[in-house]
Amino acid sequence: MDSNAKRGKPGDFSVAQRPAASGKGSTGALALQRAAYAMSVHDARELPRPGVPELAFAGRSNAGKSSAINTLTGRTRLAFVSKTPGRTQLINFFSLGEGAFLVDLPGYGYAGVPGEVRRHWQMLVGDYIASRESLAAVVVVMDARHPLMPLDRQLIGWLREARRPAHLLLTKSDNLSRQAAQRTLAKVRAEAASLCPGATVQLFSSLKGEGIDEAARTLARLAADKNKAPPKGE
Ligand code: GDP
């Protein structure tokens, strides 16, 4: 049993109660359920040679990113295996069969993190977003109760600058009433249209299993779009 399981990590939602993203049809060729840890890098120079489309997840610490990755892949602890408290910052790669990588970018906004660590995050993630050839899209994970915080906006600004497709995942939607969740969705969609034109936005709940198919379909589309697109710079 690993340490997360021992602590009974609250984000460790049981996937046995509900299906993960359904495979055929909705996810196309994206093998989310076959996600397997591949590697971690601490420095942009250690990145593997660009290849299959990379679908990256980024978000403030505690936004629900690890839970979302685990929920989408139908695994209980895939992302927690590599979770660190904001000091060791790694980009973690998970292969999705042979067709794509799911990339877990280090979280941001940890309280009490030294400036040196923040600068490392900016360099590592900034470089990855600005110049990674095989990056297909970035999923920006935000707590639906506190969307578009300053660091989220900074990240979205980078995505806009680099012309990266962005998908905004408003997590823990179960914490809001249905009406409040719809209001938040409409508000974030309206703001996203000016912050990062073309960005898509959805509600998501790992706890209730809401939004799984929508997210899986979007990821499959973004990976397919990347395969169709000419290499960056052409
Ligand atoms: P990360 O730091 O972004 O990877 O966030 P985690 O996935 O570890 O989640 C942070 C906290 O939010 C944990 O206490 C989770 O139990 C909780 N959480 C994550 N997803 C949900 C959700 O869909 N609903 C609710 N109510 N809580 C959630």
**In tens digits, what is the pLDDT along the chain, a chain of 234 residues?**
334 333 334 456 644 344 455 444 444 568 999 999 999 999 989 999 999 999 999 999 999 999 999 999 998 888 775 566 655 689 999 999 989 999 999 999 988 888 888 999 999 999 999 999 999 999 999 999 999 999 999 999 999 999 999 999 999 999 999 999 999 999 999 999 999 999 999 999 999 999 999 999 999 999 999 998 766 554
Place of tokens 């639906």: 144
Distance CA 67, CA 76 (A): 8
Q: Which atom of ligand 1 is nearest to the CA of 83?
A: 4
Query: Taking Cα atoms as reference points, which of 123, 121, 139 lies closest to residue 131?
Result: 123
For the Cβ of 73 lying below 6 angstroms from any atom of ligand 1, the answer is no
Atom of ligand 1 at shortest distance to CA of 206? 23
- For residue 159, the model assigns a pLDDT of 98
pLDDT of residue 5: 37
Q: Which of 3, 61, 67 to mutate to test the pocket of ligand 1 (most atoms within 8 A of CB)?
A: 67
Tokens 């489309």 belong to 53
- CB under 8 Å to 87, separation ≥6 — which residues? 113, 117
Taken in order of first residue, the domains within the chain and their CATH numbers are 18-228 (3.40.50.300)
Rounded distance between C-alpha atoms, residue 222 and residue 233, angstroms: 18
59 pocket-lining for ligand 1 (C-beta < 6 Å): yes
Ligand 1 center from residue 221 Cα (angstroms): 26
Strands 135-143 and 54-59: parallel
The pLDDT value recorded for residue 79 is: 75
- Give the distance (Å) from ligand 1 centre to CA of residue 151: 18
Longest dimension (CA), the chain: 50
Residue 225 structure tokens: 């779009």
Q: Residue 6: its pLDDT value, please?
A: 36
Instruction: Give residue 76 CA to ligand 1 midpoint distance, Å.
Output: 13
pLDDT reported for residue 28: 55
What is the residue with the minimal CA distance to atom 26 of ligand 1? 172
The pLDDT of residue 3: 40
CA-closest candidate to residue 127, choices 92, 162, 103: 162
The owner of tokens 């000419």 is 230
Task: Supply the pLDDT for residue 18.
Answer: 47
